Structure 1
Amino acid sequence: MKWTEVEEIAIQLSDAHPEVDPTKVNFVDLMNWVLALPEFNDDPARCGERILEGIQQAWIDELA
């Protein structure tokens, strides 16, 4: 899984952290949680604030 797969990342984060409100997650934790996903295998250096915002929004949308 790559950084560009924001919807799939959001689904997996929702499954891995069901108790978490994604609107309250800081980007450092969010990035670390993405990197810890078993199927994630992209370069951490390719991640930026814009990508993390997209993942966070997709996670919020996933719970709506």
Structure 2
Amino acid sequence: MAKESFELPIYWNDYEDIAMGLYEKFGDDFGESQIYRIRFTELLDWILSLPNFAGTREQSNEGHLEQIQTAWVYEWRDNQ
């Protein structure tokens, strides 16, 4: 019997999961200072394109995006 992988959906409050997804997608393409300079419009599009992300554009807000940037920086630091 084949093993099926099942990933839970990710929502806006799952900052660490989103950050891990962004780090997996971009790796070391962005360092700490670059992550904080990413425009929220770009960040929003990248988040919405992550696999298993179930949130909507309308549910996003500046606070979510700021928390995600910070979590992404910590994820980047952890992998250095």
Equivalence for 1:6: 15
- Secondary structure of 1:57's aligned partner: helix
TM-score by length of 1: 0.92
**Once the 2 structures are TM-superposed, how far is the Cα of residue 24 of structure 1 from its aligned partner?**
2.3
- Report runs of 4+ in structure 1 exceeding 6 Å deviation: none
- Secondary structure of 2:45's aligned partner: helix
- Secondary structure of 2:51's aligned partner: coil
Q: Which runs of 5+ in 2 are unaligned?
A: 1-9
- Cα distance in structure 2, aligned partners of 1:43 and 1:25: 20
Equivalence for 2:61: 48
Q: Which has the larger radius of gyration?
A: 2
- Cα distance in structure 1, aligned partners of 2:50 and 2:74: 19
Aligned-pair identity (%): 31
Equivalences, count: 64
